[in-house]
Chain A
């Protein structure tokens, strides 16, 4: 253990890391210590740990979890010192005692998109956005976390794996097994999170990969060559039931509290054809963020009770 930090209690254990709470001794600041298990993997340091370290070292932003330090202890375990973030958006969505108003949703969306914009302008795809990877600081700020699946935008001919993103937040190009995709996969996930915040329940909860296609296209329509030229050549595009795209009225009925521009933004993020999906900049400049009500100040957002 480094002399600069204390390790107080174990709060979680994943496949490649154990997470502890602790303090930075010099400042008294609360921190989380992610101790990467080394030596337990026959191929050396785990890929997820490598990705997390690689990308967090490059990304310093108020809406991205801060990697405070990296060091090795005597046992040669790798320790990632992260800022301490006590809750996440999933906890808040599931806490039925909390009242969430549209201005709160706008605030969380704004912070999420700002963090994501910073990832994308650095050429980094997150590839696993979901409510429990959007952590909340004690001051109420959203911090994008868990870069274990992230990757750099490569050269255009490079093949990418479509087996990314937790199922419910997976865009149609990934469901079809596309090997070339773009930052639009993250935008889709944020669009689904937006819907989930409004509904207070997961928007497209597919039971398995096949069901995810059905659930997604029932809600948003089946992509066709008309609205997405080339889609029929994607690996998993076959034997699809063609559902129509929902009418505006159907969407209004599904999201009764949403304003017209909230629906516009959501639809822009959930365009089936990834080339038509809004990018982070277009989302941030969207009228939704400038119309009333103003986004809630982070410190006044609902907190985990």
Chain B
């Protein structure tokens, strides 16, 4: 029995545990989001009813805002971007950086931001990834360079992340196959202008970095994503290379039907991946992240919501006694009428 590289990939944990269809991926996120809402509701229910802020909160519970599915995804991507910057700060390799980012996205396929704030999880993902990918950074060095964190806060989540990763830590990224294509293209198309290839290889590496902020790593294999990124930089080159690899260069009549089909199938995948890299790489703004983070704060500590209501009421009472003019926003008006 000949074991192909495809067979080997199918045996990897990346394929067995971390490859999904689009709908499976959506389903996991819906379930995680529901779990986050349920956990938050439990936290609300556990609050001591005798406290005035809790009473007020119970009266206004319909106004409590959970984090929406789409917001979860955007906030995770916001922190994935910060993870990339932090990795650059520590001079970590593409492998460490990408693995950390994948850990972060994987973590939130099974948990909600309403359970664990991604700002904390991201740090542990990076710390763990540095160990997994052989670029150990001591916890004290790591923390010294990051404001507002402690070794305990980072190590506390290490085990949780490990477990969520199903103890499968290996990540295959498109960088290595991209380098493989870079070498093989030179072999296959020896007359090619090397500067053109070199420039497009660099461009493709940048796009591979962007592909991490999409769902592609869960949906396609690293070589497929690598080819798509290279194709975005130089479609003529990639199509010429693949035609030659599939033996489609000579326009003869006895062209292999199978080969044509394979080629076309691959091109459909490449075009689709390219489209996703170009249009779906998320990069939410800091303002947006702050808004979502504020919601998470209330989900993690719902008593804060009660306190917020108390404060609002207090302000309104003060306002009422000071002047009769109505100055409240919609929310306040609503509170008063209840």
Residue of A nearest to B179 (CB): A155
Given contacts A72-B159, A78-B159, contact A53 B167 (CB under 8 A): yes
B138 on the A face (CB < 8 A): yes
Question: Are B139's CB and A42's CB within 8 A?
Answer: yes
Within 8 Å CB of B12, what residues of A? 58, 122
- How distant is the Cα of A31 from the Cα of B158 in the complex, in angstroms? 27
Given contacts A54-B132, A78-B159, contact A44 B139 (CB under 8 A): yes
Contact of A45 among B140, B151, B162, B175 (CB under 8 A): B162
- How distant is the Cα of A198 from the Cα of B268 in the complex, in angstroms? 57
B131 on the A face (CB < 8 A): yes
Contact of B13 among A38, A57, A158 (CB under 8 A): A57
- How distant is the Cα of A70 from the Cα of B162 in the complex, in angstroms? 10
Residue of B nearest to A152 (CB): B170
Within 8 Å CB of A57, what residues of B? 13, 167-170
Number of B interface residues in the complex (CB < 8 A):
31
A121 on the B face (CB < 8 A): yes
Question: Are A58's CB and B163's CB within 8 A?
Answer: no
Within 8 Å CB of B65, what residues of A? none
Residue of B nearest to A156 (CB): B179
A50 on the B face (CB < 8 A): yes
Min C-beta distance of B33 to chain A, whole Å? 26
Residue of B nearest to A59 (CB): B11
Given contacts A57-B170, A122-B8, contact A158 B127 (CB under 8 A): no
Given contacts A45-B158, A155-B175, contact A121 B168 (CB under 8 A): no
B132-181 interface (Cβ within 8 A of A): 132, 134, 136, 138-140, 151, 154-155, 158-159, 162-163, 167-170, 175-176, 179
Within 8 Å CB of B94, what residues of A? 155
- How distant is the Cα of A128 from the Cα of B163 in the complex, in angstroms? 27
- How distant is the Cα of A55 from the Cα of B138 in the complex, in angstroms? 22
Within 8 Å CB of A60, what residues of B? 11
A26-63 interface (Cβ within 8 A of B): 38, 42-45, 47, 50, 53-55, 57-58, 60
Number of A interface residues in the complex (CB < 8 A):
25
A180 on the B face (CB < 8 A): no
B318 on the A face (CB < 8 A): no
Given contacts A54-B169, A57-B169, contact A44 B3 (CB under 8 A): no
Within 8 Å CB of A286, what residues of B? none
Question: Are A58's CB and B170's CB within 8 A?
Answer: yes
- How distant is the Cα of A158 from the Cα of B159 in the complex, in angstroms? 28
Min C-beta distance of A296 to chain B, whole Å? 24
Question: Are A44's CB and B175's CB within 8 A?
Answer: no
Min C-beta distance of A47 to chain B, whole Å? 6
B61 on the A face (CB < 8 A): no
Question: Are A70's CB and B167's CB within 8 A?
Answer: yes
- How distant is the Cα of A47 from the Cα of B138 in the complex, in angstroms? 11
Residue of A nearest to B14 (CB): A58
A10 on the B face (CB < 8 A): no
Within 8 Å CB of A7, what residues of B? none
Min C-beta distance of A70 to chain B, whole Å? 4
Given contacts A54-B132, A58-B12, A151-B134, contact A44 B176 (CB under 8 A): no
B95 on the A face (CB < 8 A): yes
- How distant is the Cα of A45 from the Cα of B128 in the complex, in angstroms? 9
Contact of B131 among A42, A50, A155, A158 (CB under 8 A): A50
A58-80 interface (Cβ within 8 A of B): 58, 60, 70, 72, 76, 78
Within 8 Å CB of B131, what residues of A? 43-45, 47, 50
Within 8 Å CB of A72, what residues of B? 159, 163
User: Which among B8, B13, B139, B162 has the greatest number of chain A C-beta atoms within 10 A?
Assistant: B162
Residue of B nearest to A38 (CB): B159
B93 on the A face (CB < 8 A): yes
- How distant is the Cα of A58 from the Cα of B170 in the complex, in angstroms? 8
A246 on the B face (CB < 8 A): no
Residue of B nearest to A122 (CB): B8
B46-73 interface (Cβ within 8 A of A): none
A154 on the B face (CB < 8 A): yes
- How distant is the Cα of A50 from the Cα of B179 in the complex, in angstroms? 27
- Can you name 16 A-B pairs with beta carbons within 8 Å? A42-B151, A43-B136, A43-B138, A44-B128, A45-B128, A45-B131, A50-B131, A57-B168, A58-B168, A72-B163, A78-B159, A78-B162, A121-B3, A122-B8, A155-B95, A158-B93
Residues of A within 8 A of B (CB): 38, 42-45, 47, 50, 53-55, 57-58, 60, 70, 72, 76, 78, 121-122, 151-152, 154-156, 158
List 19 additional contacts besides A42-B140, A57-B169, A72-B163; criterion CB under 8 Å.
Answer: A38-B159, A43-B131, A43-B136, A44-B128, A44-B154, A45-B131, A50-B132, A53-B169, A54-B132, A57-B13, A57-B167, A58-B11, A58-B12, A58-B168, A70-B167, A72-B159, A151-B134, A154-B95, A156-B179
> What are the 9 closest A-B residue pairs judged by CB atoms, nearest first?
A70-B167, A54-B169, A44-B155, A44-B158, A43-B139, A57-B168, A57-B13, A58-B170, A54-B170
